[in-house]
Structure 1
Amino acid sequence: MNEEDLNEAFHDVIVRSSPPASMDPARALEQARRVRKRRRVAWGGVAVVTLTVGVGAGPALVANFTGGPADQLVANGGGTTQPVATPSGATPSVSKPVSTVPPTTTPTTRKSGDPWPEGQVDRTATAGPRAVRAVTLMNDLSSSVPPGSSTPDLKYPDGRAMRWPQSQYASNDGEQDYWEYQAIIPVQKDDRVGQLLVESTTPDGKPATDLCKLAKQFWGGTGSCTIMNVGGKKVGVVTDSGRGSYDQWAAYRYGDGTVVYLAQAKKTDNPARSPLTQPVFTTHQLAELVTSPKFKISS
């Protein structure tokens, strides 16, 4: 054996006796035994086993500790935080998995591109609890008409029902989430038909405003406004100037921000029906009824 052969053999011995840079079987075995045995195995025993296993057992050893991302950090020595040994007799803590499922809750403030809430395809909720609330609102309105009047299930000439409920997501971009629940019903007396509408809007986060200003926000209505005191509650009542769909409506705002509108018209938008000769309610009755808790929907 010449000098070159001797150098090559010596280099080969050094390479074979060095552990791989990217894997440290001794560290992996040490950490595994410390957790599994809870320090019941002496450090000397671990060192002896490590020396006995040798480099050739390294790949097999690492393979036994690659069951998941956390185990791979132990086996490969990766990551910035190493596992902490659990003292004898203590229960090891288990990290909860981080969910990768996107949140399904509606954001508190609407942003451009946000999906419609609760699986809807547009603003209107056609099924579920919100749709049920609108139906309940319609039924409560029907039960409120005075004696001598009825709320029959009338139809338009094309077959559509003149009674209908609706619940819709009303927020625009940058606004707090809020909903509008609405119900419209025909009111018949003798052979004449008028119309009622109730709308309940959940708190929208906007500051309270002047009651007459609030009342005139209803369907862009115009007319004279009066503030009425009903049992200590302030109600804004607007009498239309004759150009709107409704003759009169009342507006009431609860302390939590819920707003209720109640509107009445002597005629409907069905030209085949003759209009009522008198409003369904007096002005005072309208103002009193708009404050009824049954029309308040705050969520």
Structure 2
Amino acid sequence: MARIWNFVGKFGSAGSGNGQFNTLCAIQVSGSYIYVSDRGNARIQVFNKTTYSHVANISLPNSGIPYDLDVDSTYIYVTDTVNKKMHIFKIQDFSLHASFTIREYTSTGGIVTVFCVSNAYIYTVSRSWGNEPYMYIYNQGTYTQANYYSLSVAAFNWHDMNLPYKEIEAYVTANTMAGISTPLGNIGINDGFNAVAMDSNYIYIARPYANLIAVYNRSTLAFCENFGSGGINNGQFNTPTFIAVDLSTSRIFVVDSNNNRIQEFELVIGEAPAAPSGLTANDIGGRSVQLNWVDNS
């Protein structure tokens, strides 16, 4: 069966207006909306998932700068790298619900990503250059730190595409942290990008320097395919750094960072076209030939 990732649509351009971006970061899709961390413009932008129309801007308190985000059915969770805070906004009206201080593994700071959220806990991963990543776990509601764990550097090895989600997922499950068995948030790996996302069937890995998306079977970790190439046309990328899955449709949204846009794709599976039969060629003079075949459509 042929597997093709069809380009569905795109939105965004460089700038500071609504629907424009300056240093794109994380992306999440939930319900009817797409949430995008527009770091250079110090805001979260919210878009209609179907029309790509701009819905709202969310500003962080105390001149905060967003990096990563996650969304559940009630709240939007945003990490603020300036104030070392996590800000939680209501999904209903995008108003601020709560803020709390988040831990960084080193005093010099680092990237803090929202790994996943549940009814009981919020999981973050702190990663700084040259240091092992740490997972910090906070209680929902009180936002106090519940625990923290050192994670293997190997789990964040950019070159081993099998490890990032599977190792963390197994780790969370084995330790029965809030009973999470299928965390679906993003996790930062050692180049600082939230390059991994997954649904019930596949693991998707954005490879910024190869300008492609790699797709793996979630159960077997078998490689399925790559898609994309470098460029500015539809289906091409210039440093794809973040990726999100719409779990209701299994469509994926890719942050095409240096093209300042978001692209949407869907997987189409069908029969490969049959090769023509009865192919013949007639010399019609000069350097031209006439091809004849039986239509197999």
TM-score, with length taken from structure 2: 0.24
TM-score, with length taken from structure 1: 0.24
Query: Larger % of strand: which?
Result: 2
- Structure number, greater radius of gyration: 1
Query: Larger % of helix: which?
Result: 1
